[in-house]
Structure formats: C-alpha cells, structure tokens
C-alpha cells in the first residue's frame, strides 16, 4: 500500500488525486490529522487513518501495511520541523516500508541561507541513516509563494521587496503529478532527484514585466534594504523569527540557490511545466480580478 501523509494539504491532496488516476484506490492510504477532511478520499475507497508526526509510535496504525510512504514536509521550520520529519521516518521504518519518499527542496543544503532548505538537508541525512531506500523529491520553489509576495503588488502596481535572484517558480499541480508518477513507478529515483523545476528562472524584475503584460497596467519593481523590509514585516505583526526566515528566501535567491532549471520535471509530466505567466493569466483573466491574489 502507498501511504501519503498530509493528504488534506495543498500539495498532498493533489498528489493523492493524481495517484488515484494511476493505481487502484485500495492500494492507496492517507495519514491525516483530521480524517473528516479526507472523507472524499474515503468515499473513493482510499484507506483514511488518523496520524500525526508527534512520535513514531503514533504513526504505527496510520502506516500499517505500507510498501511506500510519502512524507510531505511540514509547514514549520527549524528544530520542530526536523523532529517531526524524523518521527515520520522512524514510523515508516517501523511499519516495514520498502521505500520512503520525502518532499524536499531544490535548494536543500546544510549551508543554505534559507532555514527550510537547511531543515531539508538534515531530513535527507536522516533518510540516509534510516537504512531504507529513499527518494527525496527536490521540488522547485512553489509558485504559490511568488503569488503571496505579489499579492499587494498586483493591486498597487509596485513590487516592493529586497534584492533577489532568479528563482525557478514551479506549480503545486505539476509537482503533485510528478510525485504521483514516481510513486506509481517505484524505484524510478534513488536518493535525491534532480531539481524538479519549471523551464525558466525568474527575478522579480522579470515578474514585474510579466505582470505588466498580463494585466495591461504598468507594474514596477522597487528594491528595499533587507533591514527596512524586516522592520515593515514586524510592524505588520510578523513574528521576528518568521521575518528572519522570509529574509532568508531573498538571501538564498541572491546567492543563486534557486536558479537551477532542469528538464526532469518536463520528462515526468510528458509536457512543459506550467509557467508563472500562465498562473498569473489564470488568476487574472483579461487583466481583472487582482483582489483574488
């Protein structure tokens, strides 16, 4: 049985939906914190069990009978994220899974300037130490994150952010489909995958040009110092730790940590990945609807 964790989240839900087009529902199980939120999967014949990453013992029931376990990384950073990932790995090992998959990041590395990428590197080391074959999905930076950075900009016509570097913004839907393909073709990748990215890396200068073309209204790009951006975040109520983590995205971008592009994702999909321009056009049809970003 293939077990997917976090199956009610933005990425996990789409992975399960696409996996169900490739394997029978009775071969799929999900581990979720709230089984009621996964009722639509249960109705299709998917095994739904409650499980959290609190301790490995809590996952014994959720992972029972697993041949593969896909661990969708948690939406936390730092020691807590690593602790939860380790618990999930230990739970998969205890359940007898023959392969563990993990949603990592293209920038995973011990020296990354972005905390989440350092967390992914530590988790990958835990996977290597587990003794079980593993696949680490080196996902491109989510396009949804770019949309969050652009939310105010698309209304004001001005992108006001720290200096950045090129980023291979990649759609959740494409990464979910790739994960499903890899799960259905067990063992296709051993260890970290190549970067699973869109075909082009973009700076926010590039994105300003794309937004101008898509909306028909001029969008400008203004660079602000890191400390001023951090101060603004804190003034708006962002916790200090989170503000520092967000700044890490820009520091890592300037260092080129997210600039790689690779054809692997396109090969898995059998088509070119969705572009950030296409996402913008979808969310802003005919230049309208900026309040939805």
Exposure class string for 48-72: b at 16+ Cβ within 10 A, else e:
bbebbbeebebbeebbeebebbbbb
Contacts of 257 (CB under 8 A, 6+ apart): 107, 109, 112, 113, 114, 117, 165
Sign of CA dihedral 113, 114, 115, 116: negative
**Bridge partners (DSSP) listed for residue 158:** 220
pLDDT tens per residue across all 293 residues of the chain = 999 999 999 999 999 999 999 999 999 999 999 999 999 999 999 999 999 898 777 798 999 999 999 999 999 999 999 999 999 999 999 999 999 999 999 999 999 999 999 999 999 999 999 999 999 999 999 999 998 888 777 778 899 999 999 999 999 999 999 999 999 999 999 999 999 999 999 999 999 999 899 888 899 999 999 999 999 999 989 999 989 999 999 999 999 999 999 999 999 999 999 999 999 888 764 444 333 22
Q: In terms of pTM, does the model score above 0.85?
A: yes
Delimit the domains of the chain by residue range.
2-140+172-192
Q: Is residue 37 within 8 Å of 8, Cβ to Cβ? A: yes
- pLDDT score recorded for residue 284: 66
Alpha-carbon gap, residue 127 to 192, rounded angstroms: 10
CA distances for 104 relative to 109, 134, 169, 193, angstroms? 10, 12, 15, 9
CATH architecture of 2-140+172-192: 3-Layer(aba) Sandwich (3.40)
- pLDDT score recorded for residue 149: 84
SS3 category, 105: strand
Alpha-carbon gap, residue 226 to 120, rounded angstroms: 24
């Amino acid at each position: 049985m293939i077990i997917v964790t976090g199956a009610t989240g933005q990425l996990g839900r789409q992975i399960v939906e696409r996996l169900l087009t490739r394997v029978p529902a009775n071969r799929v199980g999900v581990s979720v914190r709230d089984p009621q939120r996964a009722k639509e999967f249960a109705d299709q014949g998917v095994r739904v069990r409650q499980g959290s990453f609190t301790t490995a013992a809590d996952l014994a029931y959720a992972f029972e009978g697993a041949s593969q376990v896909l661990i969708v990384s948690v939406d936390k950073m730092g020691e807590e994220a690593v602790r939860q990932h380790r618990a999930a790995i230990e739970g998969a090992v205890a359940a007898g899974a023959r392969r563990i998959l993990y949603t990592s990041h293209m920038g995973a590395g011990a020296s990354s300037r972005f905390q989440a990428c350092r967390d992914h590197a530590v988790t990958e080391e835990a996977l290597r130490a587990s003794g079980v074959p593993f696949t680490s999905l080196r996902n491109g930076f989510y396009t949804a994150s770019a949309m969050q950075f652009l939310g105010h900009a698309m209304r004001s016509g001005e992108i006001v952010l720290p200096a950045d570097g090129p980023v291979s913004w990649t759609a959740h839907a494409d990464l979910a489909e790739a994960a499903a393909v890899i799960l259905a073709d067990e063992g296709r990748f051993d260890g970290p995958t190549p970067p699973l990215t869109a075909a082009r890396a973009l700076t926010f200068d590039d994105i300003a040009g794309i937004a101008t073309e898509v909306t028909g209204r001029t969008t400008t790009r203004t660079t602000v110092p890191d400390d001023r951006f951090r101060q603004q975040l804190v003034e708006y109520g962002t916790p200090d730790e989170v503000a520092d983590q967000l700044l890490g995205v820009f520091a890592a971008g300037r260092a080129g940590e997210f600039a790689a592009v690779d054809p692997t994702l396109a090969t898995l999909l059998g088509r070119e990945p969705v572009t950030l321009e296409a996402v913008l056009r979808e969310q802003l049809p005919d230049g309208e609807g900026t309040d939805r970003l």
